[in-house]
Chains A and B, each alone.
Chain A
Amino acid sequence: MLFNSLEFIVFFPLVVAAYFALPSRFRWILLLIASYYFYMCWNYKYIILIIFSTLVDYVAARAMFAAKSKRTKKFYLFASLFSNLGLLFFFKYFNFFGENVNAVFDSLNIFYNVPEYAFLLPVGISFYTFQTLSYTIDVYMGKKEPEKHFGIFALYVAFFPQLVAGPIERSARLLPQFHQVFTFDYNRIKTGIVLMAWGFFKKVVIADRLAEYVNQVYNNPHDYGGLQDLIATFFFGSQIYCDFSGYSDIAIGSAMVLGYDLMTNFRRPYLSKSIREFWSRWHISLSTWFRDYLYIPLGGNRVVKWRWYYNLFITFLISGLWHGANWTFVIWGALHGSYLVLAIVTAKSRDKLALAAGLYRFKWINNLINLAWTFALVYFAWIFFRANSIQDAILIIGNILDFSTYGGATQLFHFASDFYLAFGLIGFLMMVEILQEYYSLNGRLANQTRLIKWVIFIIIVLMIFVLGKWDESDFLYFQF
């Protein structure tokens, strides 16, 4: 089930009403049924995978906790890792792996073909797999006691607001909340609804509008010149942000209506002044996951320098692969890894340069340069993320750099007004984010009169209805 579907608009109030009408001891049952139904609306057969992961991790964690020896604990941890990552590999990476092995075999004249399987990628598999993995790893490390209640644990794995595209929650934060009793809280529900509306606005008004232009250019890169490629790339950066952060807002908002507190996933990432800062603001639940369960276990920065660089690079390379079984994602991850390593290597010389140029005396100019530079690097990497192949990405970069390909019609929207509207909406979003970042817009709005708050809310809802693209479109991050 998609958030931007009528099915969800029917489903959600029904679940919320039933949730508050039910005695609290039955609520987990309602949420579990609703979560499984939410997932099964997409493909009812694949619920087996979620149930399998739930069973394996529940049993593994409890056995690990009960085990006396480290060796036995390790055995259960590996059993959990093997089953979860095995499923993820099989459904998401097997064909990619096969294609590449076959290509290597072909080049070596070895006549063997790894078979290809035509199955659907289970929606959200990367998200719930990582969520359950964090649970078993935490239990193994002794950071968390295993959950006794199987139903509650099943709900932790399948909780519908964040099941298919995160935020990837940690057991220590989310599991205890399922044991709490939430009463009907006017302020909390109101905030949740407003957050959902803002998420819908970003998704159906901005992201889905930009998608039309981006898809047209990126799916037919040979048909377009540098200017269209540049505009499409600029639009894609905003599209993916609005799409994914919009999804996260709806997820966090809908959980909030029910009483649950999910972690913040985005904090105005395009206002970052370095790549490092960007990753502390973009898809926070994933970047902290990789930090805690891959980067730090590899040694983090408490190792010799070359090893530190290696740790950083490999973490981002794997993060790229997590996003999809395609070399374009690997390159995207490698680019971000390289940005970070280069940032560390060149930190002192950049400081000296800035000092020599007198930039530290004009902090705002220095900040602006850093902001623009970070923005450019992130958007450059997005080209690989969105392109259908490495060849397409190279073609697009070539076109952007070749001014002789500029010209021709830039208007690729079905409705002419959408082109200008797209720029206007991006500008509006940027303005809101700048106000949030530097002028605490949210706090100021909270202090406004009830009338002003209602007027703003109604304008957003009207814009969703009038300017929203309601033809069915998936959230981009579902495929990851």
Chain B
Amino acid sequence: MANGMKAIFYIFSFKRMNEKLLKYLIYIAGIIGLYAFFAVRILPMFNLVLIEDRHPDYFEFTKYGELYYFSQIKHFREELPFPKGKYRLSEKQSSAQDADIIAFGDSFFDFNRQKTVAERLHDTLDVAVHAVNAWFPYSYFYHIGYEKADPKVIIFEVVERNIPFRFKQPHTRTLTLNPPEPHVGFRGMGNKVKKFIFPENDEELYSVMLKGSYLTEWLYTNIATFKFDALGYISSRTPVYDLDQFGYPVLFYDLTVNDSYTSFYYEHTDEMIDTYCDNITDLANKLKKDFNLDMLFLPIPNKYTLYYDKIDPDADYDNFLPRLYNEMEKRNIKYVNVYDDFARSDRQLFYGTDTHWNKNGVDIAVERLLEHLSENPSLSGKVRLSLLLNN
């Protein structure tokens, strides 16, 4: 009897309850861990717990700008136009072979909070436009087996911060950002298994889950905002910001202000610019020779290049883009100068809490592109007619 009472007492004792509670907590944490472990490997599981769906590599279908999601400080919430479907994944997209114009570019050409440049050209001129989101056109056309045909124009867009990396070396057939990996046979299978067990970007994906899941988003956001308010802390990916001078919150991407070659503060020497221009010329020649593609180069200024004086009035722009234009002019490289228009414009050309341009920026680029295209001899009669009608 006494033992029975002891047992009952033990079962309901504080220690016993604590022990049980801790055990359950550990099992719950284990189940959450198990879910997270598979969620970073299986996309539908990943998105199931997120307030806003994410593609692992993009911030495409989110409410706010991508830089907000890096800092996740409430003051930098800027609601952006909801993204449209991708032009390059839509029915409007034509194949590279059938296209009249090829719009080849990085995330600026793929950024779909407003109509992309490719879509604008397609809709304005009513011609076939093939949009590509990639970094190295020469290897791309080899990879897709593009066959040399009638001449056509390829608009090659590169944002300013990426120019050094893209043109520090000549473009070759094998120069790609992500070298193709075997995806068939034994090696292909092994590769898939390896990627499933040891995904390269799992830390990044866990971080997205921590910042954006139903369970933790509010906690993370409140802590990040508290850290900003109390101690001035902000994510190292958005180290430069302004809440007042622009009249709206503005964040800048670390790649444009850190000490790497992508930064505004990086010193681009004349020798470097010579090398970049040599490699741009070489690329244009190769595209013409091997694919009969006429390259029109479109560098987009960094957001920080346009607004640095509001953040760091003592800084000096080393005039990287104007100097690049100057050298390209000397080498007869066809390019589109949007920097002068951007610098002169008093409109907001970039989203405050996103690295990318907004509709105003795209408007200027499309306007300049149409001017250049109308002067281009490589365009088909159909495009010329469209341009004529458009003018």
Contacts and interface: CB of A to CB of B under 8 A. Distances in A.
Interface string B229-260: 00111001001000000000000000000000
Given A40-B198, A415-B231, A18 B30 contact: yes
B207 A6 contact: yes
A184 B23 contact: yes
A6 B37 CA distance: 11
A5 interface: yes
Given A14-B34, A44-B194, A7 B15 contact: no
A471 B19 CA distance: 34
A465 B225 CA distance: 12
Interface string B203-236: 1001100100000000000010011000111001
A6 B202 CA distance: 9
B385 interface: no
Contact of A5 (B37, B194, B203): B203
Interface string B30-44: 111110110000000
A417 interface: yes
Contact of A416 (B30, B37, B203, B232): B232
A75 interface: no
A423 interface: no
Given A10-B206, A465-B223, A466-B227, A17 B26 contact: yes
Given A7-B206, A466-B226, A471-B236, A189 B33 contact: no
Q: Which of B18, B33, B194, B202 has the most CB of A within 10 A?
A: B33
Q: Chain A interface residue count: which class?
A: 20 to 34
A414 interface: yes
Interface residues of B, number: 31
Given A6-B207, A17-B31, A186 B36 contact: no
B319 to A, nearest CB: 26
Given A11-B33, A184-B19, A17 B27 contact: yes
Interface string B8-28: 000000010011001100110
B315 interface: no
Contacts of B198: 40-41, 44
A17 B23 CA distance: 8
Contact of A466 (B19, B223, B232): B223
A258 to B, nearest CB: 11
Interface in A1-37: 5-7, 9-14, 16-18, 20-21, 37
B45 interface: no
A471 B70 CA distance: 12
B71 to A, nearest CB: 13
Contacts of A5: 203
A229 to B, nearest CB: 21
B29 interface: yes
B22 A415 contact: no
B26 A417 contact: no
A18 B31 CA distance: 9
Q: Which of A13, A21, A184, A186 has the most CB of B within 10 A?
A: A13
Contacts of B33: 10-14, 17
B232 A14 contact: no
A323 to B, nearest CB: 28
B238 to A, nearest CB: 12
Given A10-B33, A10-B36, A184-B19, A20 B26 contact: yes
B117 to A, nearest CB: 34
A74 interface: no
Contacts of A14: 30, 33-34, 37
A14 B27 CA distance: 8
Contacts of B36: 10
B60 to A, nearest CB: 23
Contact of B29 (A13, A186, A421): A13
Interface string A393-427: 00000000000000000000011110001000000
B232 A13 contact: no
A401 B86 CA distance: 63
Contacts of A40: 197-198
9 contacts: A10-B37, A17-B27, A17-B31, A17-B34, A20-B23, A21-B30, A40-B198, A44-B194, A417-B232
Given A417-B232, A467-B231, 18 more contacts: A6-B203, A6-B207, A7-B202, A10-B33, A10-B206, A13-B29, A16-B29, A21-B27, A40-B198, A41-B198, A189-B22, A189-B26, A190-B22, A414-B239, A415-B233, A417-B231, A421-B231, A466-B226
The 10 closest A-B pairs by CB, nearest first: A17-B30, A14-B33, A13-B29, A6-B206, A186-B19, A13-B33, A10-B33, A10-B36, A417-B231, A13-B30
Interface of A: 5-7, 9-14, 16-18, 20-21, 37, 40-41, 44, 184, 186, 189-190, 414-417, 421, 465-467, 471-472
